[in-house]
Structure 1
Amino acid sequence: MRQPAVIVIGIGEDGCLGLSSRAYNCIRQSQILVGGQRQLDFFNDYPGRRVVLGKRVKDALESLRDESGDHNIVILASGDPLFYGVGSLAVKIFGAEFCGFIPQPSSMQLAFAAAGLSWSDASCLSVHGRTIEGLCQKMRRLRKVALLTDADNSPVRVALHLMEYSDTQWDAILCENLGSTEERIRHLDLPGLSQLTDVSPLNVLILTRTASWRCPPAFHSEPEEAYARRMPKLGLITKREIRVLSLAALQLHAEDVVWDIGAGSGSVSLEAARIASEGRVFAIECEAESQGYCTDNILKHGADNVRLIAGEAPDALEGLDNPDAVFIGGSKGKLDALIQIVWQRLNPGGRLVINAVTMENVGQTVSTLNGLGLSYDVNLVQIARSSLLAGKYHRYEALNPIHIFSLCKERP
């Protein structure tokens, strides 16, 4: 069998001592050795050309693409190159048929072994070179998580982020310098982790739920009392039953970008964010008082993939990622312009849902949608809730009727 032109070899903190004879022979037979400076330092006597991978890893590998036809290239990577490593990038650049892999145990394997924990039921996530935004939402229903961190999204910052968004039911195991003589394993709670000043940059953070934690339902809608909100009458908030129907009409996917226009207290945004747990929700709100309530609710309910946009649509929509789903709950008299702009920006296959309470907004919505030649469904929803009367009798109290318009932008 012909040896691939590019071999990606996993290497641990013990350097050459941990390499198999096959991996060591591949390095000896290569003409170009690629890796981080820390990894290349294990091979100071290497006779061929050494290429240091810095911040521009992709550019460095692409510069070697032409040379891979005439030279054997070895790329050194930490642990398993195909686990959050450089391996997948090498495949994209050189082609799978020209790449081979010799892995070491991954950092995750080493971490769980050092901690004495099974990892068959663990979820592995990374904030290494990625945004920490949305981490709480991704971990919302997880019991055991192993997390790759970096200098910016350090274990300390992760702890502070979880605490800021009220996601505190975690115990932490900080695994540092795994496989080296300086290996250290520390068991901490989140406040203790957040106060550390001596964390090694080479670490894996294991998080396990506390004994009192219960996994939240896959889908649920909160009563109005769960949200801070403006309080004329029953409070300016989309009622629970209407939220459920509106979210169903949006048909959200996990990675969707969602716009909630006229977000108010943010109840629709927060519940959309639970469904679009890998995506992002933009809550657009122009009233200062409501913005404050929305911010409080985002932090209280751990919705760190919701971003409050303080401003009035449609101007506030400029610069936002194009949406896969849009909910319009308030328009400030600009419903016609909003619908037209939203429909233009909506991604193909995306859905638009409009809640209209007043007869004027119903008429404007129908007029605008018809004027654009769009097909839509509309449901008139009348909800009545039971209420206690005179201590032992129950009666129904009707909520305001509401029209729910829904439509889908067809793919070309």
Structure 2
Amino acid sequence: MKRIWIIGIGMGNPETLTVGALNRIQASRALIGARRMIEALGEVKAKAYFAVSPDEILQWIKDHEDLDPISVLMSGDVGFFSGAKKLLKLIEEETNYKAELIPGISSLQYFCSRLGTSWEDVKTVSLHGRERNFIGEILNHKRTFFLTDSIQTPDYICARLVEAGLGETLVAAGERLSYEDERIVTGTAWELSQKTFDPLSVVLVENPRAGAAYPHPVTHGIPDDAFVRGEVPMTKEEVRSITLSKLRIEEEDILYDVGAGTGSVAVEMALQARRGAVFAIETKPEAVALIEKNKAVFHADNLHVIQGIAPQAMCSLPVADKAFIGGSRGNLKEIVTALLKKNPDIRMVVNAIALETMQETMETFKELGLEVELVQVFLSKAKNVAGYQMMMGQNPIFIISGQRKEAEQ
């Protein structure tokens, strides 16, 4: 059985190679990896092939069956935001290959050691080609480590921190770690936002006030008074809490809030789906402005405001995993149909006050083959009247959930 070693080579400088990695490299008949990784090793006896795509790597291995063993070089550690994961899966589908992972020193380990600090309590985030609510991560974690890319560079991250009112946050940035021209810079976010950095960089943000930057603790049903209010209707906190629980939001979900109003539901969606994205669709300009304000209050960077009418406004958006429909402007069936066309397994929740809206939703869901759950919520809240606590009733709300039965299992 052909041996393939997937090796984490550390930071790029051969001095960060482990003994086990070096022994396997020297025993290999072929080396595959990025040009900078292989060239950093100096003269090698093995045949070298420059490639980083897992599919291309596997195809080259198949085309050279006579070469055994082969080492595939990966930067850092093979278990830390590495291309090794996809490559290993591809190799495991082949019956005549045996792959072995050889761990290396990760950028997190190396950088923290250079800073003279531990790393067991650090939240790690990769921004390589990914849009993330990194401001939210910083607000929720005392120490956050970022792998940057050519767009979301250290200075870009720091500029965003300044915009969010976090310019005094302490930041350390490291570029070209382990190489002769390695540079490590520490200072406030404002100070680092004025500098430029190599795309091959990492960032460590220290925020001792993590969790204290929001108007209230981030939980289901954030208090109504935490949001910027206007004349636009808003889903009340208790109803919002139940609605969000019915959506069953996961951290990486793509979510729609159709008829977003003030954006209270959309904001809570964004705070829960930190590694996903939320699209708030709203027609009224005053409501759109309110959503933008609430997005800023809660630093919900993964919330995108779309001004337009559904379903047309949804056409070019990424496929949603879940959707909340708070207002349809008479287009409920068209909206639900469009959502199902994009994702037949989508989970939807509709809130309705009127009996007619509830009935239309139930009929639409059933007609389109969805399993339906109907909940009616009666709420009353105490109000001080002449020194007495009087219970004041609110409008009953129907909360209708719909999803294909197969998707729920």
TM-score (norm 2): 0.86
Q: Could you list the per-position Cα deviations for residues 364-389 of structure 1 after superposition, in whole angstroms to 9, with x for gaps in the alignment?
A: 33443454565533333232222233
Structure 1 position 10 matched with structure 2 position 6: no
Alignment of 1:8-87 (within 5 A): 8-15=7-14, 17-19=15-17, 23-53=21-51, 57-71=53-67, 72-87=69-84
Counterpart amino acid of residue 301 in structure 1: F
Q: CA deviation at 1:316?
A: 1.4
| Alpha-carbon distance in structure 2 between the residues aligned to 1:201 and 1:344 | 39
Aligned to 1:282: 279
Alignment of 1:3-402 (within 5 A): 4-15=3-14, 17-19=15-17, 23-53=21-51, 57-71=53-67, 72-95=69-92, 98-128=98-128, 130-165=129-164, 170-197=169-196, 199-211=197-209, 214=212, 217=217, 219-231=219-231, 235-348=232-345, 350-369=346-365, 371-372=367-368, 374-390=370-386, 392-402=387-397
- Cα pair 2:170 2:206 within 8 Å, conserved: yes
Q: CA deviation at 1:108?
A: 0.9
| Alpha-carbon distance in structure 2 between the residues aligned to 1:243 and 1:286 | 21
Taking structure 1 as reference, are residues 92 and 166 closer, same or farther at Cα in structure 2, changes over 3 Å only?
Answer: farther
Counterpart amino acid of residue 193 in structure 2: S
| Alpha-carbon distance in structure 2 between the residues aligned to 1:61 and 1:223 | 53
- Cα pair 2:224 2:237 within 8 Å, conserved: yes
Taking structure 1 as reference, are residues 401 and 115 closer, same or farther at Cα in structure 2, changes over 3 Å only?
Answer: same
Taking structure 1 as reference, are residues 300 and 94 closer, same or farther at Cα in structure 2, changes over 3 Å only?
Answer: same
Instruction: Give the stretch that moved more between structures: 336-345 or 71-80.
Output: 336-345
Taking structure 1 as reference, are residues 12 and 333 closer, same or farther at Cα in structure 2, changes over 3 Å only?
Answer: closer
Q: CA deviation at 1:252?
A: 2.0
Unaligned stretches of 5+ residues in structure 1: none
Q: Percent identity?
A: 28
Count residues with an aligned counterpart: 401
Q: Could you list the per-position Cα deviations for residues 184-232 of structure 1 after superposition, in whole angstroms to 9, with x for gaps in the alignment?
A: 43222211221112x244332111213575387462423333223432x
Counterpart amino acid of residue 410 in structure 1: K
| Alpha-carbon distance in structure 1 between the residues aligned to 2:341 and 2:191 | 49
| Alpha-carbon distance in structure 1 between the residues aligned to 2:250 and 2:208 | 29
- Cα pair 1:322 1:347 within 8 Å, conserved: no
State the SS of the aligned residue for 1:411.
helix
Taking structure 1 as reference, are residues 86 and 329 closer, same or farther at Cα in structure 2, changes over 3 Å only?
Answer: closer
CA RMSD of aligned residues (A): 2.9
Q: CA deviation at 1:131?
A: 1.9
- Cα pair 2:10 2:104 within 8 Å, conserved: yes
| Alpha-carbon distance in structure 2 between the residues aligned to 1:252 and 1:11 | 36
State the SS of the aligned residue for 2:300.
coil
Q: CA deviation at 1:109?
A: 0.7
| Alpha-carbon distance in structure 2 between the residues aligned to 1:399 and 1:185 | 57
- Cα pair 1:11 1:76 within 8 Å, conserved: no
| Alpha-carbon distance in structure 1 between the residues aligned to 2:72 and 2:343 | 42
Counterpart amino acid of residue 266 in structure 1: G
